[in-house]
Amino acid sequence: MLKKIVYFLSSIIMPNMTVFIIYGFLHSFFSTLGWFPNENIEKISNFIILYLIPILLAYTGGASIAKHKGGVIASIVVLGVVLFSFSNMFLPAILIGPLVGWLIKKNDIYFKNNVKSGFEMIIISFSNSIITILLLFVSLYIITPLFEYVSYMIFFVTQTIIDFHYFPLISIFVEPSKVYFLNNFINYTFCIPLGMQEIHDSNRSIFFLIESNPGPGAGILFAFSVLGKNRNVKKFALNGALIHLFGGVHEIYFPYVLKNLKLFVPLICGGIAGTFLLVTFKGGIYSIVSPGSILSILAMTPPGSYVVNILVMFISFLVSFFISLFLIYIDNLTLNKYNKKKYATNVIKSTLYDSEELKNNHLDFNVKKKSTVQNNIIKQVIVACDAGLGSSALASNIFSRELKKMNVANILVSNSAINLLPNDPNILVITHKFLTERAKKKAPSSLHYSITNFLDVEMYKKIINEVFVYQKNNIQTTISENKNNIKLQTEKMFILSKENIFLNCTMKNKETVIQFVGEHLYKLGYVQKEYIDSMLEREKLSTTYLGECIAIPHGTLEGKKFVKKTGIVFVQIPEGVMFGDHKDDIAKLVIGIAANNNEHLHVVSKITNALDDPIILNNLMTTNDKKKIIKVFL
């Protein structure tokens, strides 16, 4: 349930995160207490925080349920809250948006099913208008006073806790929650609402620094860089500490804590120390920071608060650092020779990969590799995290670099939030092991890998070897393993002949191409006519465009029952036809495949080789001699 709440809040707030940051910069530089006071710009920043952000949040929530219509109506309804409230009302806006979207969606479904054809549009439009007006009254006369009271009570209770000096104890909850990837839940349900209310009243907020303070995590990483059991551990920890501090990627220190739960103690103590100073000396920043690096925190710091905010981060770092040093030192002393060796191995694996995780990954790969890597070529890698920002962006860059080092080409690498993952069998998804189950539910058709550290270069190499090097070499390996069997069944194998080849064709779109290919597979006796629909259905799941102007349309797994015998149809389209997901994915060579077993693999192997040889590829796209094409695929 908690994961669903986090996902729900993340899907509404993350698309609008840029607006929060823009407000922070405008307020930091141009407010009355900013660096360059400007009355007109300050009016704009006040409009953003009081009106624009709640309206955008309501629109996003409504659109997530009932598309554009739900978003527009939610934006109107939320006006009753934002225009007549003395508090910041973006938390009600988050709730109003999806609620309005749900009501509009239910209303549309009801009238579509219960109104005579031809009258639906006018009746739905009138009913939606009436619902909007009624909800506007509800937001104005019920929701507004209710949330005014709730906001006042929450702020009063929080201020009372601060006055009695108990507020720093909140780190007992915040720091462990971050390690278990609940940092977005803390931000969206606690820090942002209270922070926006406080900044509206006092021009800065301590709530924005509670979760984003990099000091405690940096203390643990630097402790490992000093007392790590070998050079690799020290190097990983030091690099991770720098990325954590200046890049704002907090997830880097999570594996160290999860491998040794005693390290929750320095995290919590560092957080308590920093929050105590924050409250005592009235520090704070203008807006939420994302990612939470030192640089972004200093950019959002008001004039006169630099010393306090730097002191908060530094003291929380020192407390965490020295307690971590002590705990690591005690562990090192108490281990016997056998346990020392085991401990050193585990610490290294905390930054690389552990055997159980690797075993699970092998199982996941072995179960899926024939169906995913052979039948659906992996063409894209997505590194996903909860928000799709710091950690996944960093990891995608590292993975892309390793692909280049290992000479693996034509693979698109990107990062994404988990809730935005596409469900595509041609995509490999990499996530932290605590997020993998969510990713699998969002993209069940994709191939998934779990990692424990986003800086895990060795694990990335392992994935590349298992998936992409396997993908490139497996076709030839399979042919080699079955070479004798194939020779014995030569009479059953298809032979590429001139009647299978069509040169200098012109096609309108990829559907026309697939229809053309399917019809000739049928005419040549390779398939039943139903296989054509299976090819079109397969293309709807994900494009069969390989890259380098080559596409290999084929049927679904269920469509194999319509294959009579293995065969291919080769179509040359000099002018090309758009076949992929991007405008540059133009196919000039389309090779339709029908296969029951592995007889077609040597053809696919030749296609793979052609991708690496521009001369062969150019000859295939330009030749008018069918014999030359047959020679390539012999």
Q: Is 560 helix (H, G, I), strand (E, B) or coil?
A: helix
**Confidence band (pLDDT; 50, 70, 90) for 483?**
very low
What's the distance, Cα to Cα, between the start and end of the chain in Å?
57
Between the CA of residue 362 and those of 368, 447, 454, 465, 551, what are the distances in Å? 10, 12, 19, 12, 30
Quickly count: other Cβ atoms within 10 Å of residue 160's Cβ.
11
Contacts of 200 (CB under 8 A, 6+ apart): 49, 50, 87, 88
What is the model's pLDDT at position 491? 39
Q: Average per-residue pLDDT in the chain?
A: 77
Alpha helices in 371-481 (DSSP H): 390-405, 436-442, 457-464, 470-481
In this model, does residue 355 exceed pLDDT 70?
no
**Confidence band (pLDDT; 50, 70, 90) for 626?**
confident
Do 605 and 526 lie in one domain? The reply is: yes
Do 55 and 159 lie in one domain? The reply is: yes
Q: Percent of the chain beyond pLDDT 90?
A: 12
- Report the domain count for the chain: 3
What is the model's pLDDT at position 349? 39
Residue finishing a domain among 145, 164, 183 = 164
- Mean pLDDT computed over 515-527: 90
Q: Is the pTM of this model over 0.85?
A: no
Q: Percent of the chain beyond pLDDT 70?
A: 75
**Which H or E element spans position 588?**
strand 586-594
Do 510 and 594 lie in one domain? The reply is: yes
Decide which of 499 and 601 is more confident.
499
Please tell me the distance from the alpha carbon of residue 140 to that of residue 81, in angstroms, as a whole number.
6
Do 148 and 66 lie in one domain? The reply is: yes
Do 464 and 525 lie in one domain? The reply is: no
In this model, does residue 503 exceed pLDDT 80?
yes
Please tell me the distance from the alpha carbon of residue 207 to that of residue 516, in angstroms, as a whole number.
62
In a domain, 544, yes or no: yes
In a domain, 231, yes or no: no
Residue position matching structure tokens 């099913």? 113
DSSP result, 500-557:
GEE-S---SSHHHHHHHHHHHHHHTTSB-THHHHHHHHHHHHS--EEETTEE--B--S
Please tell me the distance from the alpha carbon of residue 634 to that of residue 629, in angstroms, as a whole number.
9
- Mean pLDDT computed over 102-125: 84
Domain harbouring 387, CATH code: 3.40.50.2300
Q: Is 413 helix (H, G, I), strand (E, B) or coil?
A: strand
SS3 annotation, 337-390: HHHHHHHHHHHHHHHCCCHHHHHHHHHHHHHHHHHHHHCCCCCEEEEEECCCCH
Q: Is 69 helix (H, G, I), strand (E, B) or coil?
A: helix
In this model, does residue 337 exceed pLDDT 70?
no
Do 497 and 394 lie in one domain? The reply is: no
- Mean pLDDT computed over 130-155: 84
What is the model's pLDDT at position 368? 46
Do 445 and 577 lie in one domain? The reply is: no
In this model, does residue 317 exceed pLDDT 60?
yes
Pairing of strands 427-432, 380-385: parallel
What is the model's pLDDT at position 446? 84
Q: What is the pLDDT of residues 35-54, one digit of tens each?
A: 788 888 888 888 887 889 88
Domain residue limits at 99: 1-164
Tokens standing for residue 110: 């009801």
- Mean pLDDT computed over 95-110: 90
Contact 55, 65 (CB under 8 A): no
Kindly list the catalytic residues: 385, 554
In a domain, 247, yes or no: no
Lowest-confidence segment of 336-340, 389-393, 462-466 by average pLDDT: 336-340
